[in-house]
Amino acid sequence: MSEVVSTTKSHGGTQGVYRHRSTATGTAMTYSVFVPAHEPGTSLPVLWFLSGLTCTHANVTDKGEYRAACAEHGIAFVAPDTSPRGEGVADDEAWDMGQGAGFYLDATEAPWAEHFRMRRYIEDELPALIAREFPMLDPTRQGITGHSMGGHGALTVALRHPDRFRSVSAFAPICAPSQGPWGEKALGGYLGEDRAAWRSYDACALIDDGARVAELLVDQGDADPFLAEQLRPELLTAACGRAGIPIELRMQPDYDHSYTFISTFLADHVGWHAGRLKR
């Protein structure tokens, strides 16, 4: 059962923030849901947004500029947190590991394994909770997107669950975490040195291992300081090419890695997902 943290009216719908006790992480977890105005008995498609390093649910909720598009298209929007948090939860002094940097995986290494179980939280626990507490949301019409670490999460979750998610997109995703400093640090720290265990959390490796989705939309700023070393969209394009997965990679001139970039194109992604979720 979720506790209501806050609700507010927006574009005719309701923007809510909620908190619950997670069995997956063993901690309190906070998430937000925007439900557009709808007639009683209406079943709404839902778009999940996974946030990036250092973020919480609040970053996209406050800065994403998605609600007008969600209201227009009649699509709900769910934004979870990026990691477990709180006293007794393992952390790291660096911003790219620990609290705020869950990488949407289930850790197997100490001290992370006790709480850092974001894969089962995102894939199992939170969807079941949302289905119970928001019955107007249609579990058969789900899309997923995300930014940076959350783009990595969106791609890998969708590739592991192609029957659950009808559509997937990403903003500046970490496309091949096994081949970049952020990903190598996180995957090694959370999962250990056996790189075979990393493949379930690497979009390019999943595709090369046979995972498929119908198509991908990716927006990437060409002024992003992390583009060449950390994000590497060319590797995703190449993997999709080998697998025959249609991908639209839109390189956006002069845009960086920030929420000014995301907010510029998020409404467009909402419309793109809506077109696929309403078929």
Residue 62 annotated to the active site: no
Sign of CA dihedral 32, 184, 166, 224: positive
CA 17 – CA 57 distance, rounded (Å): 9
CB-count exposure of residue 87 (10 Å: 0-12, 13-18, 19+): exposed
Reduce the DSSP state of residue 219 to 3 states and report it.
strand
Select from 117, 101, 87 the least CA-distant residue to 51: 101
Phi-psi region of 271 (alpha: psi -120 to 50; beta: other; left: phi over 0): alpha
Residues with Cβ within 8 Å of residue 245, at least 6 apart in sequence:
207, 212, 213, 214, 215, 216, 239
Q: Among 57, 73, 257, 273, which one carries the catalytic annotation?
A: 257
CA 20 from chain centre, in angstroms, equals 19
Contact 267, 65 (CB under 8 A): yes
Q: Among 106, 202, 219, 224, which one carries the catalytic annotation?
A: 224
Residue 224 annotated to the active site: yes
Contact 9, 53 (CB under 8 A): no
Q: Among 148, 152, 167, 219, which one carries the catalytic annotation?
A: 148
Contact 180, 230 (CB under 8 A): yes
Rounded to 5 degrees, φ, ψ at 141 are: -130, 80
Specify which residues 49 forms β-bridges with.
145
Residue 148 annotated to the active site: yes
Give the residue numbers marked as catalytic. Answer: 148, 224, 257
